[in-house]
């Protein structure tokens, strides 16, 4: 959370120190205060998985937006050596798997009970895929008593890998759900706060605009022959109308800045919801494919152990040869998925190494054409900048609503003292409107404080994307 230093009754920022030494600006006045610099965000502490994936590339820093846009191919190539090595290793394993399954059989199958072997005084026959082979008594005895290889080690290894894949997949699912909860809950809160500020500001603006219309009609409803009274009334109306226009302008700026936020958050949530199946399934695909291969191995080992016959052995041998291409393809697909996943994680890790700088850089590059103050607002909330443009408009809006109330109270004294018959003037209820407006502006100021906004950034970007996402994908790998 951003810790903004306050010294005295007002928040004193370095950018507001426009008064002489020892004084700080407070509205239109200079008050004795000590001026401190703006807030400083807490240091980002990357987890071990971020450091692990970042260390797979010699790229010093994540490229700027313009640089990445022009040379994105070079960027991908810079971070690809290690993932491509994983892919090459997967291709080698895939080819080796196909070769072993296709060429590993001898063509002869021996049963443990030897019921399919014939033997007489001089010859013995053993059946095989190439026909009958003649063996002598000594060879027959050697083959009959030879201990066959056990399937138990292969069965246990495959079962262990299946369990690891299951727990790895479960871990990724839990991490994905936790990441989604952190990000979505923070976005929901931000959307609710932005909507509250925008709706409250629009409500008070409608009230003040209605007051504007009443002021235009006021001279027509007040009857008096006193020039002094008329002068008081016209002066009040003219001054109040100017202050109202200025107030509405400032508040509408706040509304225009805040009002699009819920829609943008809603669009981001819809985008993440549509992309959720892809991002949820891609990290799980290698685990499920490896588990599928191991399930086939377990089935083969179980059948071979329980049903020891030449006919089954021949079926298993034919089945393995036919499935060699499928197994090799699965191994290759797993290698491709691991390669792509590693490239994405390396890029994300490089981005998160200096996350604040990179976020600000990309915000500046992508939003400056939309509004020149968005980069300033982002710098204030992310880096603890010394100036928040929204605060300035809020301060001016508060100043103008106070002016409206002052004009009204001064005019009320004159109207009452001069004996003007003007009930509509006293029905304006300016004091109540001003109190309500100040309350709404005060609420907006509280909601827009750095200590209230910064947690959204910390949870969504720092904790959610740069820690939980990377560790959630990396841990089961």
Can you state the percent helix, strand and coil of the chain, rounding each to 5?
Answer: 70, 5, 25
- What is the rounded CA–CA span in Å between residue 400 and residue 408? 12
The model's pTM is 0.64
pLDDT digits (tens, 9 = 90+) for 62-91: 888 888 888 888 888 889 999 999 999 988
**What whole-number distance in Å separates Cα of residue 144 and Cα of residue 155?**
25
CA distance 58 to 353: 13
| DSSP class of 134 | E
CA distances to 22, 45, 191, 382 from 1, in Å: 28, 14, 19, 10
**Mean pLDDT for each 10-residue chunk of the chain (477 residues)?**
42 46 60 54 81 86 85 88 91 82 54 45 41 56 55 73 80 77 78 78 76 77 70 80 79 73 75 70 74 76 65 65 74 85 89 88 76 77 76 79 83 70 75 83 79 81 82 64
β-sheet bridge partners, residue 124: 119, 135
Contact 165/288 with Cβ under 8 angstroms?
yes
DSSP state of 128: E
Q: Answer yes or no: are the C-beta atoms of 83 and 343 closer than 8 Å.
A: yes
Helical residues (DSSP H) of 120-151, grouped into ranges: 137-145
**Of the candidates 243, 218, 217, the residue with the CA atom closest to the CA atom of residue 232:** 218
Beta strands 124-128 and 118-119, pairing class:
antiparallel
Task: Report pLDDT digits (tens) over 240-290.
Answer: 888 888 877 777 777 777 777 777 777 777 777 776 766 667 677 777 777
> Which pair of structure tokens corresponds to residue 73?
């191919």
């Amino acid at each position: 959370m951003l810790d903004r230093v306050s010294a005295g009754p007002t928040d004193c920022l370095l950018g507001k120190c426009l008064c002489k030494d020892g004084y700080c600006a407070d509205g239109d006045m200079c008050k004795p205060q000590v001026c401190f610099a703006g807030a400083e965000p807490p240091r980002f502490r990357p987890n071990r998985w971020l450091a692990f994936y970042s260390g797979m590339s010699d790229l010093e820093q994540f490229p700027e937006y313009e640089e990445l846009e022009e040379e994105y191919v070079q960027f991908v190539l810079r971070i690809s050596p290690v993932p491509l090595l994983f892919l090459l290793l997967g291709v080698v394993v895939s080819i080796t798997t196909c070769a072993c399954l296709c060429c590993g059989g001898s063509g002869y199958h021996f049963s443990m009970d030897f019921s399919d072997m014939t033997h007489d005084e001089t010859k013995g026959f053993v059946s095989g895929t190439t026909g009958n082979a003649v063996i002598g008594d000594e060879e027959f005895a050697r083959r009959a008593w030879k201990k066959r290889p056990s399937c138990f080690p292969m069965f246990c290894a495959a079962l262990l890998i299946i369990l690891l894949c299951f727990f790895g997949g479960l871990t990724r699912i839990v991490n994905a759900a936790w990441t989604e909860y952190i990000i979505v809950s923070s976005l929901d809160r931000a959307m609710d706060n932005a909507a509250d500020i925008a709706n409250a500001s629009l409500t008070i603006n409608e009230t003040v605009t209605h007051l504007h219309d009443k002021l235009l009609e006021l001279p027509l409803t007040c009857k008096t022959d006193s020039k002094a009274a008329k002068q008081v009334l016209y002066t009040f109306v003219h001054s109040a109308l100017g202050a109202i226009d200025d107030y509405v302008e400032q508040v509408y700026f706040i509304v225009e800045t805040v009002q699009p936020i819920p829609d943008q958050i809603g669009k981001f949530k819809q985008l993440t919801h549509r992309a959720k199946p892809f991002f949820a399934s891609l990290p799980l695909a290698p685990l499920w494919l490896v588990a599928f291969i191991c399930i086939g191995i377990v089935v083969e080992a179980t059948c071979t152990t329980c049903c020891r016959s030449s006919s089954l052995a021949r079926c298993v041998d034919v089945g393995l040869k036919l499935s060699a291409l499928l197994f090799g393809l699965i191994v290759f697909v797993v290698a491709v998925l691991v390669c792509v996943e590693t490239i994405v994680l390396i890029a994300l890790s490089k981005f998160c190494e200096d996350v604040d700088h990179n976020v600000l850089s990309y915000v500046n590059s992508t939003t400056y054409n939309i509004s020149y103050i968005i980069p300033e607002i982002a710098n204030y909330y992310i880096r603890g900048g010394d100036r928040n443009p929204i605060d300035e408009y809020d301060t001016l809006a508060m100043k103008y609503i106070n002016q409206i109330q002052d004009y009204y109270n001064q005019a009320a004294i004159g109207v009452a003292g001069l004996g003007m018959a003007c009930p509509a003037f006293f029905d304006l209820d300016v004091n109540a409107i001003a109190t309500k407006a100040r309350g709404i502006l005060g609420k907006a100021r509280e909601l827009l404080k750095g200590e209230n906004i910064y947690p959204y950034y910390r949870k969504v970007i720092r904790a959610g994307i740069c820690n939980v996402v990377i560790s959630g994908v990396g841990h089961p790998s």
